[in-house]
């Protein structure tokens, strides 16, 4: 197994390689026994031809470690890797070319779990596999994108359960900031956003904000950051509403003191 570690890339690197312009999470809601096509939008930002390769790898979610990728050729129980047929295993994009890469998802008729997933890795690679110069070793940073392919089974009862694990108040800046940690304790993937309200002891709203929308998978954790909370010192009531695209709303309230 191996974990995907965050890597900071210089902006100039993005302008010299192939990038993914579509979402890095593709959620499929389709009946069993049907086929679905997923298109991934690619763009070559370089003035030179660029080569990309495509590989599939299974993963599972760990709240502390994030995505944990499984090297084994044997798929994990909730894998949909064997359902996918790639358009190709590699492509060469012409300078400034934009194009879609397609994969066909054949959903088996007898799948009985609530969801399945795998990851499509899109790897920027050298146009020529090896270039040798006498006595010289050349290093370069090649960006790899991971596109999560997630299937929600409509034939199995599934649910979303967004649970607030922790709330940290940052008082170091000019104004306050909140960082929430959520975990999806359910068995279905969804997208969500969080609405936060702060009320004073008389019930007057002194702060209101809505977070950006994020995707979240079963057993996955997400951070929600709410900034620029400009309130006077005192005791307040914090109300959090996590609204999922499934229509479910999960609320929590807590007394806080600044």
* pLDDT tens figures, 202-211: 999 999 999 9
Q: Given this model, what pLDDT does residue 137 score?
A: 40
Tell whether the model's pLDDT for residue 130 goes beyond 60.
no
Q: What domains are defined for the chain?
A: 2-152 (2.60.40.10), 162-257 (2.60.40.2360)
Q: Given this model, what pLDDT does residue 132 score?
A: 46
Q: Given this model, what pLDDT does residue 140 score?
A: 53
* Buried-exposed string 179-203: b where 16+ CB fall within 10 A, e elsewhere: ebebbbebbbbbebebbbbbbeeee
Cα distance between residue 249 and residue 253, in whole Å: 13
DSSP-derived pairing of the beta strands 25-29 and 144-152? parallel
* pLDDT tens by residue, 148-172: 999 989 999 888 999 999 888 887 7
Cα distance between residue 231 and residue 11, in whole Å: 36
- Mean pLDDT for the chain? 85
pTM: 0.71
Q: Given this model, what pLDDT does residue 135 score?
A: 44
Q: Given this model, what pLDDT does residue 9 score?
A: 39
**Structure tokens, 19:** 């990038």
Q: Which residue has the higher pLDDT, 90 or 127?
A: 90
Q: Given this model, what pLDDT does residue 11 score?
A: 44
Tell whether the model's pLDDT for residue 14 goes beyond 90.
no
DSSP string, 147-179: EEEEEE-TTS-----EEEEEEEEE-SSSSEEEE
* pLDDT tens by residue, 33-49: 999 999 999 999 989 99
**How far separated are the first and last CA of the chain, in Å rounded?**
44
Tell whether the model's pLDDT for residue 194 goes beyond 80.
yes
Q: Which residue has the higher pLDDT, 111 or 218?
A: 111
Q: Given this model, what pLDDT does residue 16 score?
A: 66
Q: Are 2 and 71 in contact (CB under 8 A)?
A: yes
Q: Given this model, what pLDDT does residue 3 score?
A: 46
Q: Given this model, what pLDDT does residue 4 score?
A: 46
pLDDT grade, residue 247 (50/70/90)? Answer: confident
């Amino acid at each position: 197994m191996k974990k995907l570690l965050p890597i900071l890339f210089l902006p100039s690197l993005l302008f010299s390689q192939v990038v993914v312009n579509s979402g890095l999470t593709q959620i499929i809601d389709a009946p069993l026994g049907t086929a679905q096509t997923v298109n991934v939008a690619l763009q070559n930002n370089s003035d030179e031809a660029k080569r990309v390769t495509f590989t599939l790898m299974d993963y599972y979610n760990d709240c502390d470690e994030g995505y944990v990728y499984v090297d084994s050729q044997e798929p994990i129980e909730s894998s949909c890797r064997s359902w996918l047929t790639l358009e190709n295993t590699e492509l060469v994009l012409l300078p400034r070319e934009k194009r879609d890469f397609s994969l066909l998802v054949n959903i088996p008729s007898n799948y009985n779990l609530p969801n399945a997933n795998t990851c499509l890795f899109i790897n920027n690679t050298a146009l020529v596999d090896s270039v040798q110069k006498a006595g010289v070793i050349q290093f370069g940073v090649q960006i790899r994108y991971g596109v999560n392919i997630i299937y929600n089974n409509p034939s199995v009862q599934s649910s979303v359960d967004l649970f607030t694990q922790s709330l940290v108040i940052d008082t170091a800046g000019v104004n306050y900031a909140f960082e929430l940690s959520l975990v999806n304790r359910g068995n279905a993937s969804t997208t969500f956003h969080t609405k936060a309200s702060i009320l004073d002891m008389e019930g007057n709203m002194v702060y209101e904000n809505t977070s950006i929308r994020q995707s979240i998978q079963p057993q996955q954790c997400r951070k929600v950051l709410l900034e620029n909370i400009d309130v006077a010192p005192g005791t307040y009531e914090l109300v959090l509403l996590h609204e999922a695209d499934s229509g479910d709303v999960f609320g929590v309230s807590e007394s806080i003191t600044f």
